[in-house]
Structure 1
Amino acid sequence: MKKNKFFLFIIIFLLALIIPFTHVKAASDNYLQKVKDKGTLVVGTSADYPPYEFTAKENGKTKYVGLDISIAERFAKDIGVKLKIRNMNFDSLLVALETHKIDMVIAGMNPTPERKTSVAFSKIYYTGNQYMLINKSDAARFKKIKDFKGQTIGAQTGSLQYSLVKQQMKGNDVKGLAKLNDLVIALQSHKVNAVAMEEATAKAFAENNRNLKVINPGFDIDASQTGSAIGFSKGADSLVTAANKTIDEIKKDNLINKKYIPAAAKNMTANSKKKSMMNYWTYFAKGIEYTLIITVVSVFFGFVLGTLFALMRLSRSKFVHGLAVSYIEFVRGTPLMVQVMFVYFGVGAVIQSLPALVAGIIAVSLNSAAYVAEVIRSGIESIPSGQTEASRSLGMSQKETYRYIIIPQALKNIWPALGNEFVTLIKESSIVSIIGVTDLMYQMQLVQSATYKGVIPIFITMVIYFLMTFGLSKVLGYFEGKMKHA
């Protein structure tokens, strides 16, 4: 009977998470008017794809530039609104579009038949070939697809290139990663033998790294899968029509070849001249600021909620106890990355104004609360029952016993474990970069994109994380020593 009640609590908890989606209604085609009413066009992109979209440093600030950004700026101007860029992983863009976190996707995306089932695409605005990026030392070995038999090929997950490698290079292992910068690092460290990319992007990386070379392996490409288009929510015909009008005007004036690509090349050249990491210290400083904000706020709410759930789990009420157990076990049984994506994309589908930073803090706080709850529970249960009996015999209430007797002693016992959870939180907060929160990990990826360097930004980020966690460990150790002598 007890087991049945426990499973009932689990079902109720899961239903509480799912029910919000039942209120999401299909929107009528007033998409264009909605964008005009709010005065902002929110565009999703993955800014690691030069010359389509990448970052440049201007007056110490991050600026999104490239062919796609220029088209997005022109489109926003044509419909009379301001442009807002949201940078995230390529394979998260369509999820963000589906949950209306963004109004459109422009990221060198190919309008494949599979994508067309859930996405409304504009006309093709640019077409490029599909190439391979290899190490120059392997130029004599690899020239065509057949030369790569048995080798490991890298490609961006969710991209046309990934599908091409899977379909046409079946004798090869495919390594899919979300960021092209990571794939280039894998190539340079010989973890992969080649990276499949769109022509212009492959040439951009090769031109800024003398150890890399571009080849045309001879992919057999369906004409319907080539070219880049703008993606909109299914049914957003008004936005598609407006975008097509802009694309027609851009093509008529040949702006892509005359203006947009030369501007992108100029920014790429400027980036290559500023490869020193000192030029990007403001990026790392901003990343540290956001990482500390996320950590401090999440520690506070994680501790408060963790204490609450610990007391609920120790409650004599079966309902309260079961609710706490259900929450703790569910959160500890699912990855933090999934929880972050669920809060931002899932809950965000209902609360569309939910910012990425707030969603990240909520997810990290809720995750931390489950672990803190178990730490506090174990500390409370470690106190001998005689302490409670003695305090009650002195006329203290249960609330006073917990406040003055149990909690202070338990806190002294669990401080090392609690401190370890707080230190871990600094590192785990890096997960929020997948939804576009500008924490330290996110800023590191921007530096990689801007400088075409992969390892050095990683090393600097690793050192910064160490300094933050080491500093916190010393502070926690100081207070632990104070408790021992109290």
Structure 2
Amino acid sequence: MKKGLKKLLALSLVAVMAVGMVGCWSDKYADTDALDQIKKNGKIIVGTSPDYPPFEFLVSEGGKSKVVGADIDMAQKLADKMGVKLEVKTMDFDALIPALQAGKVDAVITGMSPNEQRKKSVDFSEIYFKGENGVLVAEKNVNKIKSEDELKKMKLGVQKGSTQETYLKDTLKLKDYKALTAVPDLAMDLKSGKLDAIVLNSKVAKINEGKYEGIKVANVKLTGGGEEEAMAIAVKKGNNAKLIKMLNDGIKELNKSGEYDKILANAVEMVSKEKK
């Protein structure tokens, strides 16, 4: 056998062994529960879209932006329960699930509803918040909307990628509406007359009612799947049983003790202070 051929075969053997070793390490990592990996890293990285007060929003502290809100406070409580530090990464709402799937974040806590479509891509904790959906309109139209049929005739706005957008598409069968990443941008479009109404969580609608002059929450009851919004924590699929149990136990404790209600009330107060 020629010397060059021997060398080539030797290199090939090394390459095969290297691939095998990588495979072994990958398999070993894949068998590690997500909670074990988080504890090993000493931190949990949470992804959020900070444009949905009181759940997550930005405030200015010392000339720098800081993410605050009920979801962030809850994330800190859960991180404390795990015995790790909390790191928050902000991004657009519709970029959160891809970031979770790519392993860029360990969990998504951002007022996300566990609908059937999302369950195909990620796993969810138990529900930590339930609330009705609401409609924001110009103050002059606050008593004019009586039904969903009237909504169908309006220029509607909704947060991109939200449960409310699914409601507009699947329940109201609408194709012509405006979907934006940030709720404040929708509110400004409503205020300027570019939109007739915004469909969003009732608590968020009420907060924005007080934040912007000239817009009010309409007195209309949404039906056909648009009555209630549930929120849960999203995690990457696979080897997450211990992590989900930890999250579920934490959520149960926060709700049973009344601590979550205090967290939400504090977040609402923070929003009120930001308006002044």
Structure 1 residue matching 2:230: 3-state secondary structure: coil
Paired with 1:184 and 1:101, the residues of 2 have a C-alpha distance of 31
Is structure 2 residue 273 aligned with structure 1 residue 270? Answer: yes
> Equivalent residues in 2 for 1:366-385 (5 A)?
none
Contact kept, 8 Å, 2:143 with 2:218, in 1: the verdict is no
What is the deviation of 1:47? 0.5
Instruction: Say yes or no: does 1:170 pair with 2:173.
Output: yes
Structure number with higher strand proportion: 2
CA contact (8 A) 2:164 2:200 kept: yes
Q: What is residue 337 of structure 1 aligned with on the other side? A: none
1:107 aligns with 2:110: yes
Q: Is the 8 A contact 1:153 1:172 kept in 2?
A: no
Q: Determine if contact 1:29/1:238 at 8 Å carries over to the other structure.
A: no
Q: Secondary structure at the match of 1:154?
A: strand
Q: Distance in 1 between matches of 2:268 and 2:241?
A: 33
* Aligned counterpart, 1:74: 77
Say which of 87, 90, 106 aligns to 2:93: 90
Give the CA RMSD over aligned residues. Answer: 2.2
Identity %: 35
* Residue type at the aligned position of 2:215: L
Question: Relative to total residues, which structure has the larger helix share, 1 or 2?
Answer: 1
Q: Does 1:160 align with 2:170?
A: no
For 1:238, the aligned partner's letter is K
1:127 corresponds in structure 2 to 130
Q: Where do residues 135-284 of structure 1 align in structure 2 (5 Å cutoff)?
A: 135-170=138-173, 173-220=176-223, 222=225, 226-235=229-238, 236-257=240-261, 259-273=262-276
| DSSP 3-state at the match of 2:158 | strand
Deviation at 1:223?
A: 9.5
Contact 2:46 2:87 in 1 (8 A): yes
1:42 aligns with 2:49: no
Residues 1:113 and 1:29: Cα distance change in structure 2 (over 3 Å): farther
User: For the residues of structure 2 that align with 1:216 and 1:272, how far apart are their CA atoms?
Assistant: 24
Q: Relative contact order: is structure 1 or structure 2 higher (C-alpha 8 Å, sep ≥ 6)? A: 2
Which letter maps to 1:164? Y
Instruction: Letter of the 2:253 partner, please give it.
Output: E
CA distance in 2, matches of 1:39, 1:59: 27
For residues 141-186 of structure 1, the C-alpha deviation after alignment (integer angstroms, 9 at most, x for no partner) is: 3232122232221111211100111223236722112222222222
CA, structure 1 residues 171+115, in 2 after alignment: closer, same or farther (shift >3 Å)?
closer
User: Aligned in 2, Cα 1:240/1:171: closer, same or farther, shift over 3 Å?
Assistant: closer
Q: Distance in 1 between matches of 2:245 and 2:174?
A: 43
- In terms of mean alpha carbon deviation, does 114-123 or 138-147 score higher? 138-147
Q: What one-letter code is carried by the residue in structure 2 that aligns with 1:97?
A: L
Cα shift at 1:57: 2.4
Residue aligned with 1:72, SS = helix
Tell me the secondary structure at the aligned position of residue 101 of structure 1. Answer: coil
Distance 1:77 1:223, change over 3 A: farther
| Residue 252 of structure 1: how far off its partner (Å) | 1.1
How many pairs align?
250
Q: Secondary structure at the match of 1:129?
A: strand
* 2:202 aligned partner, one-letter code: E
Between stretches 145-154 and 158-167, larger displacement belongs to 145-154
| Structure 1 CA distance for aligned equivalents of residues 227 and 204 of structure 2 | 20
Amino acid at match of 1:217: V
Paired residue type of 1:83: L
SS in 2 for 1:210: coil
Q: CA deviation at 1:243?
A: 0.3
Q: Which residue of 1 aligns with 2:16?
A: none
Q: Is the 8 A contact 1:49 1:180 kept in 2?
A: yes
For the residues of structure 2 that align with 1:120 and 1:272, how far apart are their CA atoms? 36
Measured after TM superposition, the shift of residue 239 of structure 1 is 1.2
- SS at 2:178's partner residue? strand
Gapped regions of structure 1 (runs ≥ 5): 1-22, 274-486
Hey, what's the Cα distance between the residues in 1 that align with 2:153 and 2:181?
A: 23
**Per-residue CA shift, 1:402-438, capped at 9, x if unaligned?**
xxxxxxxxxxxxxxxxxxxxxxxxxxxxxxxxxxxxx
- 1:245 partner amino acid: D
SS of the equivalent of 2:94 reads helix
Q: What is aligned with 1:308?
A: none
Check the 8 A contact 1:44/1:105 in 2, yes or no. yes
8 Å CA contact retained: 2:135, 2:218 = yes
How far does the alpha carbon of each residue in 1:352-383 deviate from its partner, in whole angstroms, 9 at most, with x for none? xxxxxxxxxxxxxxxxxxxxxxxxxxxxxxxx
- Deviation string, structure 1 residues 42-65 (Cα, Å, up to 9, x no partner): 100010100111122234332221
Match of 1:51?
54
Contact 2:190 2:198 in 1 (8 A): yes
Q: Assess, with a 3 A threshold, how the Cα gap between structure 1 residues 268 and 226 changes in structure 2: closer, same or farther.
A: closer
Letter in 2 for 1:112: N
Specify whether residues 248 and 138 from structure 1 end up closer, same or farther in structure 2 by C-alpha distance, changes over 3 A only.
same
The answer on 1:116 being equivalent to 2:119 is: yes
Secondary structure, counterpart of 2:187 in structure 1: helix
Residue by residue, what CA displacement relative to the aligned partner does 1:301-330 show, whole Å, maximum 9, x if unpaired?
xxxxxxxxxxxxxxxxxxxxxxxxxxxxxx
The 8 Å contact of residues 144 and 216 in structure 1, kept in 2 or not, is answered as no
Which of the two has higher C-alpha Rg? 1
Any conservation in 1 of the 2:171–2:225 contact (CA below 8 Å)? Answer: no
Can you give the 5+ residue segments of structure 2 that lack an aligned partner in the other structure?
1-22
Rounded Cα–Cα distance in structure 2 between residues aligned with 1:57 and 1:210:
22
